[in-house]
Each structure stands twice: as C-alpha cells, then as structure tokens.
C-alpha cells in the first residue's frame, strides 16, 4: 500500500542555512508517526512543506498520492493541518470559526454543519460553541485548534505540537481524538518535543536533528538503536572505593557524594551489582533501577547542547 | 523612590530608542508631511519654490485696439504668467475646459472704442471654478490690469486737461490784452468821430445857407423867364379863342338865316354839329396873367423840393482803426472722460462662481480616511491573519489563496464604498455639498478610488512583514498621497512639477473626478477617463499586490 505521506531526499535552505538535508519519511494510512527533534531540528519546516505552505529546494514529497508542489491543490483536499499555535479568529465563536473553515475546506453546507457539530462534540466544546473563542482557556483553544483541522475527515493529518501547554484532561481528549482518527485510516504525522506523547501515540518515530533524520523506527527500536543502557542508581552511607565493581555486563557511569550510577546490560545483573556494593563495605541507603526511554535515546542521539540559536534562525528564516 | 523613578525613566527611553515605529512617527513621517505641505503651500505664502507655478493665460483679442495692446504689453512683464494669443473664444474656452488654463481672457470687439468714447468696456474671463486659487491670482492680475488701464486713461485725460487749461489761460490773457487794445482804439475812434461830426454839422449848415440863397435866386429868375415865355406862348391862344368866338357868332347868324329861308322845312334841317367845347381851364389859362400863372405854377414854398444838389463835402479821413490781434483759441482736444472697464466672469462649465469649501473638503478628507481605513485595514488585516495563524491554515485548505485574498479585499472594498457613501450623505445633509448634475455619477470615482486604495493595501501588505513596518509605511504613503493628490488643498496650489508628479497617485485622479462632478458640474462622461485610470491603478496594484503577497507568504510559513 502506498504511504499517504511519502518524503524522500527533502532539502530546504533558508539563505545560507540548511534547514532540511535529505529528510525521508513515510506515513501509511492509519499510522501515527512521531516527528521528534530538538528546536531547530527541522520539524516545523518539514510540516510546513508537507502542508504546502513552503516550497522546497530538492527531493520529493507526495501527499495522498499527490506530488508536491505540482498537485498541491489536490493534496490539500486530503490534508488536515493543526498548527502549533491555535489558528482561528479570536472574536468569532467556535461554531462560526468551524463553519468558516469547513466551507474553506470545501465541505458543502449540510456536510459542514454536520461536521461542525461532530467536531464540537469530539473536542468537548458543545457547551461553549457560541462564545467568542478569545474567552476560551488554553486547553479549549487547543481542542478547537485540532477540531478546525479535522472537520473534513482528512486522509492525512499533520499535527505540530498540538498538546503544548494544555491541561491533562485536554491532552487526553486530544490523544483520544488523534487515536480515533488513525483508527479510521488517517495517516498522522505528529510533531512533538514530548517523548511521552510520542511513546503514547506513535507506532513509529522519526528523529530529526540539524535537518537530518538521525534515527527512525518504533520507540523500542529507537532506544535500542541509540544504545542506551538501563542504569542502577545506588546511594550509600560512604563513598565506594575505586575498583569496587566486579560484575560482568556492568560499568560505573558516575560516582559522587555517595551516589553512584551503574550502567547494566540487562536487569539480571542487578543482584550482582548490589552484592559488589555490599562487598565494598557500602551501606546501601537506597537504590533505583532506571529502564532506558525514548528520551534517553533522544539525548543519546542529539546530545544535550541547547539549540535555541538554531531555532531562532529558523523562525527568522 | 528616586532610584525606581530613574530606572523606569531609563527603561522607557531605551524602549523608545529601540522602537523603530515610534522613531519613524516622531521623525520621518512628520518630515515627509512637512516637506509635502511646505512645497505645496509655498505659493500660499508668496514664496516661489523650485519649478514654480507658471500660469497660462490664453488671450483672445477680438477688439484689435489699444486695450489689447496695452494688456499684452502689461502682461508681458507679469512674473509667472505665460500669455498665449488665441484666435477664437471657443479655442480659449477649450483650453480652460481641458484644464490647461485656469482662466482665459477675451477682449470683445469694440472695447477700445467704447472706453475711448467714455462708454463702458468689458473684459470677459472664462474661468475654471475648481482652480479658484489660480483663478483668483489671474483675476487679481486682470483686475490690476483693468485698474492700470483705467488709471492710464485717467492720467492721459488729466494731462490733456492740464494742457488745455494752460493754453486756455494763455489765450484768455491774450484775449484780455486784445480787448484792452480794442477799448483803447474805440476810445480814440469815438473822439475822432465826435470831431468829425462837429465838422460835418458845420459844413452842412454853411451849405444849407448858401443853397437857400441860390435857390431863391434861381427861383426868381425862373419865374421871370417863365412869365415871359408864357406871355409869348399864350398870345396865339388868346387870338385863336377870340377868332373862335367870332366864328361861333357868325355861324349862329348863318344858321338863323338858313332856317329862315327854309321856312316850313326849317324843322327838317338837322341840327348842326356842335363845336367842340373849350375847356374852362384853357379859357382861364388864356385869360390869366402870365405873372399869376407863374406864381401858380411855381409857388415860392416849393423851392426846397427842388434844391440843387448839396455841395460835395469831402469826408474826413478816418483814423487808422487799431486791428486787435485776436488770439487763436486753442483747439479743444478730442477729449472725453475715459469709460470704465467691467470684468465679466463666466465659468466654462456653467458652474457657480462661489465655491462651497466642503465641495473640496468632503471628498478630500473622505478619501484620506478611506485610505486610512482600507489601506491599513487590508495590510493590518493580513497581518492579523498571519499572527492568528489563520492565513497559514487557510493556505492549507483547497480554497486558492487568491480567493482568500480577493475575499478580504472585497470585504474592505464594500466597507470603503459604504464609508464613502455615508460621508457624502453627511456632507450633503450637513454642509450642502454639491452632488453635481448626476449624483449617481459620484459612484464612478468612488468605486475607482475605493478599488485602487483597497488594492494598494495589498501592495503594502506584500511589502511589509510586520505591524511595525505597516504603520510608518502606510501612514507616510497615505499622507503623501492625500496631500499631493489634492485631498487637503486644491491641487493648483502646488507647483507644476508637484502637480505632474501627483499624477502617479490615484488620489489625484479621484479628486479631479470629484471636482469635475461636484464643482465643475460636469456630466458623468467627463469622469469616465479618470475612473478608467483609477480602475487601471486598481488592477495594477492588485496584480502587483498579489505577486508581492504571494511571494511574501511563501517565504514564511
């Protein structure tokens, strides 16, 4: 089956700065793919190109089997876009906004009315549908923002950090809505900085950094691909002496002030590590086992350096 | 407190310095307006700016007399005025109607003669009621000219009168001298005549005495001669009369004898013819004494009637009569008080001369605020769409961007159109502005300027990427377009170069069209060209705006 989002060798340059450098990804029908990366990695640029908002310099992009930019107009018929910042008319009511966008999305009047009612229920905004949306809370505005993008039941849905700054209840409603759409066959590309969201929603993730895909796959595969180990954190009454660890498959990551982090190859070596601590005369006050997460893989693959300058440049470009 | 105040003050000054919009509003925008206003209004204060206004004044001289020549000579030295001799009144009016001249001057035939004859001459001005400042300037020039002509004629008459008075005074003095000489001569003549009269009387008296003596002598002689001649002449008469008496007596005797011899036949004898009767005067004459007869024929008192002619008296030689040298009175100059010159003003379009200032201000300021509304409204509206994120969202929908843009422009267009209609309605109700001959025709330039202004808003939106850029750019553009385009003051106040430069602004064309309809009272076809230009501006701005805007939005998602 042909993916509904097909990106290959995508390149984009803003003046002298390379924003995207050979990005490739696919999203199939009913699939939710997370687009991860630090600020300035190229997530928003990628989404803007896929949303037909930005031209690209090289590569190929196909949305719902429509190549961009030639068939952008046809691609838009299948496209739902939920920008990072809520995008609607603040002095209009939620219903008025939805009705307007439904018409702009090409829905006939009756279907538009039906769609408005449906997404109002989906977003949990029926009770406030006729209030000006500038009175809405952040979470309500986020839900409305999503509702505006799915009025026409798009085959392809692009979400740019839709859950930033929302309350847990709103986040849950958003997730349920996205999962529901995917279940109905919508290909979802979900851009986020929140690893938990990706792990919760995405079957696959694509990790971008500095305009390149540094890793992609399922979250566990990405963790494995990153080579991130589980760690045991041990707190002792006294500092441990040098050379105290003798267990195979374990190595000391750091040690200071009675707290020691030990990387382990698998959880089966944890008793041996604790035994080594006791043998070294360490009084164990506390210990925790930390399994590797997508965030660990993220840091492992992208580093911990701040990317704000790059993000600023991208925004300016 | 003081420390906090100082910090807050420093912060606000720092914010101001970093506020480009504020700095532009504080400096560049007022400088632009000051420059435009200063250049535009320079002539109002009598200051000549570079490329100053040179007014064209077509002159039609149907008179061909001294008035036309004087006008041409006078106006040749008038600064900032180009006179052009035009052959016909229609051509001159056409120049005004085509807005190449604010005023045309016509000198009707017979003007010079009328003024010279002391009648009233008149000059005709064909004026464009819109260009009332230039018209006022030219009107003042012609008024000045008119007063100059009248003053020149007055001066000429004054000089002529003064000359006449001088010559008259001289003649009067000469006449007085001659009169005195004549009086003197007459006195002498009177004296001579008195002498002559006395001599004549004396001579006549002597002549009369001598004549009477001569007459008496002559009469005595003639009576004596006559008595002698009468005696001689009357002697035969007396003899004849005596013979006759004897004959008559003899005949009577003979007749008696005859009758006696005839006996009884005596009664058959016819009476003999009667001898002629002797006139008693002849008888008396024959028996009068010659002396008595002379006395009778020549009475003594009859001698005066037959006086001999008076002795010839040679007249006394007349004294040489002084011939007075009569002065030749000066010829009266062909002088009449010069007539006055009337100015007759006629609008080339038949519009009233008096201008309702609101006819200028209502459309002018309506356009200004229309531009503020649509230009800033459109550009800031797109910025709002961008800031709200709705523009990006709309661009991801199947609806073409052009439709989104045109819909926004159409909405602004409708609002602008309604705004203009309301302002004109208020202007009509509150200030009595003219709506022209055909009020519906105002829709033509109104539609044009609203369209052009709305489309220009798209250009501004395409050129600017922030609210901070829109406000200074928009305000400068609007103020410049309004000021130079004649929205705030009549366009003819501006120097020529600025008037020509202003043609690149739609405001200029709109104001021209409004002036045509509202002040010049032209019919609707008169503004079709201006409306077409406005539509052209609109199309051009729309095309340019779409390109710029599309380019702009494609740069930033």
3-class secondary structure for B126-161? EECCCCHHHHHHHHHHHHHHHHHHHHHHHHHHHHHH
User: Cα–Cα distance between B243 and A304 in angstroms, integer?
Assistant: 216
pLDDT at residue number A249: 85
Give residue-wise pLDDT tens across range A185-235: 999 999 988 888 888 889 899 988 889 898 888 888 887 777 777 888 999
Do the Cβ atoms of B531 and B525 come closer than 8 Å?
no
Phi/psi of residue B503, each to 5°?
-70, -15
The answer to whether the Cα torsion of B284, B285, B290, B294 is positive or negative is positive
| Contact between B389 and A83 using a beta-carbon 8 Å cutoff | yes
CA angle at A57 for the pair A145 and A159, rounded to the nearest 5°: 15
Do the Cβ atoms of B109 and B62 come closer than 8 Å?
yes
Q: Report which secondary-structure segment, H or E, holds A8.
A: strand A5-14
> In chain A, what residues touch B399 (CB-CB under 8 Å)?
104-106
List strands edge to edge, sheet with A212-217: A79-82, A156-160, A187-192, A32-36, A204-209, A212-217
pLDDT at residue number A314: 43
User: Cα–Cα distance between B219 and B299 in angstroms, integer?
Assistant: 9
pLDDT at A281 over 50: yes
Helix, strand, coil share of chain A (percent; to 5): 40, 30, 35
- Minimal Cα–Cα distance from A177 to chain B, Å? 19
Do the Cβ atoms of B115 and B341 come closer than 8 Å?
yes
pLDDT at residue number A56: 92
Assign B97 a pLDDT band (cuts: 50, 70, 90).
Answer: confident
B158 touches A at CB < 8 Å? no
Given A51, A53, A89, which is nearest B388 (Cβ)? A89
Residues in chain B: 557
Assign B84 a pLDDT band (cuts: 50, 70, 90).
Answer: confident
Assign A317 a pLDDT band (cuts: 50, 70, 90).
Answer: very low
Closest CA to A186 of A1, A27, A315, A2: A27
Give residue-wise pLDDT tens across range B221-252: 888 888 888 888 888 888 888 888 898 899 88
| Contact between B390 and A81 using a beta-carbon 8 Å cutoff | no
| Contact between A86 and B400 using a beta-carbon 8 Å cutoff | no
Phi-psi region of B255 (alpha: psi -120 to 50; beta: other; left: phi over 0): alpha
Given A44, A55, A76, which is nearest B397 (Cβ)? A76
Give residue-wise pLDDT tens across range A14-71: 888 889 999 999 999 999 999 988 888 889 899 999 999 999 999 999 999 999 889 9
Give residue-wise pLDDT tens across range B268-310: 888 888 877 888 888 888 888 877 887 777 766 555 555 555 5
pLDDT at residue number A311: 44
Q: How much is the average pLDDT of B160-189? A: 85
pLDDT at residue number B425: 93
pLDDT at B38 over 60: yes
Q: How much is the average pLDDT of B495-519? A: 90
Given A77, A88, A317, which is nearest B398 (Cβ)? A77
Tell which wins on pLDDT, A317 or B544: B544
Interface of A with B (CB under 8 A): 44-45, 48, 51-55, 73, 76-77, 79, 81, 83, 85-90, 101, 104-106, 148-149, 317
pLDDT at B62 over 60: yes
> In chain A, what residues touch B389 (CB-CB under 8 Å)?
83, 85-88
Closest CA to B348 of B97, B58, B61: B97
Question: pLDDT over 70 for what percent of chain A?
Answer: 95
> In chain B, what residues touch A317 (CB-CB under 8 Å)?
556
The answer to whether the Cα torsion of A44, A48, A54, A59 is positive or negative is positive
Give residue-wise pLDDT tens across range B112-134: 888 777 788 888 888 888 877 77
User: Mean pLDDT of all residues in chain B?
Assistant: 83
Given A73, A81, A317, which is nearest B393 (Cβ)? A81
In total, the C-beta contacts within 8 angstroms joining chain A to chain B are: 60
B280 touches A at CB < 8 Å? no
Q: Peptide bond preceding A69: is omega within 30 degrees of 0, i.e. cis?
A: yes
pLDDT at B474 over 50: yes
pLDDT at B335 over 70: no
Neighbours of A251 (CB within 10 A): 13
Closest CA to B58 of B90, B80, B94, B84: B84
pLDDT at residue number A305: 64
Helices B506-514 and B357-371 cross at an angle (nearest 10°) of 150
User: Mean pLDDT of all residues in chain A?
Assistant: 86
pLDDT at B85 over 70: yes
pLDDT at residue number B496: 79
Do the Cβ atoms of B444 and B450 come closer than 8 Å?
no
> In chain B, what residues touch A104 (CB-CB under 8 Å)?
394, 397-399, 404
Judged by DSSP in three states, A65 sits in coil
CA angle at A96 for the pair B421 and B407, rounded to the nearest 5°: 45
B551 touches A at CB < 8 Å? no
pLDDT at residue number A186: 93
């Amino acid at each position: 089956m042909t993916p509904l989002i097909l990106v290959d060798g995508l390149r984009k340059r803003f003046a002298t700065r390379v924003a995207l450098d050979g990005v490739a990804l696919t999203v199939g029908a009913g699939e939710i793919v997370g687009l991860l990366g630090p600020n300035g990695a190229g997530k928003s640029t990628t989404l803007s190109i896929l949303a037909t908002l930005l031209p690209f310099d090289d590569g190929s992009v196909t949305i719902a089997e429509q190549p961009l930019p030639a068939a952008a107009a046809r691609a838009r018929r299948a496209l739902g876009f939920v920008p990072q910042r809520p995008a609607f008319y603040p002095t209009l009511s939620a219903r008025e906004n939805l009705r307007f966008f439904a018409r702009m999305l090409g829905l006939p009047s009756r279907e538009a009315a039906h769609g408005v009612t449906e997404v109002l229920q989906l977003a949990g905004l029926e009770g406030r549908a006729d209030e000006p949306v500038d009175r809405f809370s952040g979470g309500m505005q986020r839900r409305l923002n999503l509702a505006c993008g799915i009025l026409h039941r798009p085959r392809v849905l692009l979400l740019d950090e839709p859950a930033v700054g929302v309350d847990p209840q709103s986040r849950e409603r958003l997730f349920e809505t996205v999962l529901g759409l995917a279940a109905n066959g919508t290909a979802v590309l979900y851009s986020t900085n929140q690893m938990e969201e990706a792990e919760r929603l995405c079957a696959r993730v694509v990790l971008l950094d500095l305009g390149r895909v540094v890793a992609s796959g399922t979250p566990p595969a990405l963790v494995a691909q990153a080579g991130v180990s589980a760690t045991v954190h041990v707190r002792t009454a006294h500092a441990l002496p040098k050379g105290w660890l003798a267990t195979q498959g374990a190595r000391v990551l750091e040690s200071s002030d009675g707290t020691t982090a030990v990387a382990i190859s698998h959880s089966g070596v944890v008793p041996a590590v604790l035994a080594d601590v006791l043998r070294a005369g360490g009084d164990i006050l506390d210990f925790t086992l930390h399994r590797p997460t997508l965030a660990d893989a993220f840091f492992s693959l992208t580093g911990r350096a701040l990317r704000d300058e790059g993000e600023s440049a991208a925004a300016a470009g | 407190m003081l420390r906090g105040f100082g910090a807050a003050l420093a912060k606000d000054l720092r914010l101001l310095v970093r506020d480009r919009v504020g700095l532009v509003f504080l400096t560049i925008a007022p400088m632009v307006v000051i420059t435009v206003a200063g250049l535009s209004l320079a002539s109002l204060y009598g200051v000549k700016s570079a490329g100053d206004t040179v007014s064209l004044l077509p002159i039609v001289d149907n008179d061909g007399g001294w008035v036309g020549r004087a006008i041409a000579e006078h106006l040749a030295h008038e600064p900032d005025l180009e006179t052009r001799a035009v052959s016909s009144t229609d051509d001159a009016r056409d120049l005004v109607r085509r807005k190449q001249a604010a005023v045309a001057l016509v000198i009707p035939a017979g003007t010079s003669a009328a003024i010279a004859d002391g009648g009233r001459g008149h000059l005709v001005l064909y004026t464009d009621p819109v260009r009332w400042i230039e018209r006022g300037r030219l009107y003042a020039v012609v008024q000045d000219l008119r007063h100059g002509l009248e003053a020149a004629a007055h001066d000429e008459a004054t000089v002529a009168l003064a000359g006449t008075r001088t010559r008259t005074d001289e003649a009067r003095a000469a006449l007085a001298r001659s009169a005195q000489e004549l009086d003197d001569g007459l006195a002498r003549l009177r004296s001579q005549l008195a002498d002559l009269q006395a001599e004549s009387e004396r001579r006549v008296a002597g002549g009369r005495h001598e004549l009477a003596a001569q007459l008496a002598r002559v009469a005595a002689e003639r009576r004596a001669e006559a008595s002698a001649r009468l005696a001689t002449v009357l002697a035969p008469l007396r003899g004849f009369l005596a013979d006759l008496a004897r004959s008559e007596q003899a005949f009577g005797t003979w007749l008696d004898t005859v009758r006696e011899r005839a006996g009884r036949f005596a009664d058959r004898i016819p009476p003999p013819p009667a001898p002629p009767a002797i006139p008693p005067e002849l008888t008396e004459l024959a028996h009068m004494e010659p002396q008595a007869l002379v006395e009778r024929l020549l009475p003594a008192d009859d001698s005066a009637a037959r006086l001999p002619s008076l002795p010839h008296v040679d007249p006394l030689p007349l004294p040489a009569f002084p011939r007075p040298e009569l002065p030749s009175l000066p010829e009266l100059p062909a002088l009449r008080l010069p007539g006055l010159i009337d100015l007759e003003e006629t609008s080339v379009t038949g519009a009233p001369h008096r201008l309702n200032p609101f006819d200028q201000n209502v459309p002018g300021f309506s356009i200004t605020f229309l531009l503020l509304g649509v230009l800033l409204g459109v550009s800031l509206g797109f910025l709002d769409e961008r800031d709200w994120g709705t523009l990006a969202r709309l661009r991801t929908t199947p609806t073409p961007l052009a439709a989104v843009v045109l819909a926004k422009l159409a909405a602004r267009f409708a609002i602008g159109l309604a705004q203009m209609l309301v302002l004109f309605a208020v202007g009509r109700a509150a200030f009595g502005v003219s709506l022209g001959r055909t009020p519906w025709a105002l829709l033509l330039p109104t539609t044009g300027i609203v369209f052009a202004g709305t489309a220009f808003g798209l250009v501004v939106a395409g050129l600017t990427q922030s609210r901070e850029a829109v406000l200074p750019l928009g305000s400068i553009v609007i103020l410049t377009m309004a000021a130079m385009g004649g929205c705030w003051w009549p366009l003819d106040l501006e120097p020529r170069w600025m008037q020509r430069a202003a043609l690149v602004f739609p405001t200029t064309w709109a104001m021209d069209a409004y002036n045509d309809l509202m002040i010049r009272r032209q019919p609707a076809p008169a503004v079709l060209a201006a409306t077409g230009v406005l539509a052209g501006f609109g199309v051009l701005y729309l095309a340019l705006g779409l390109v710029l805007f599309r380019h702009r939005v494609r740069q930033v998602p």
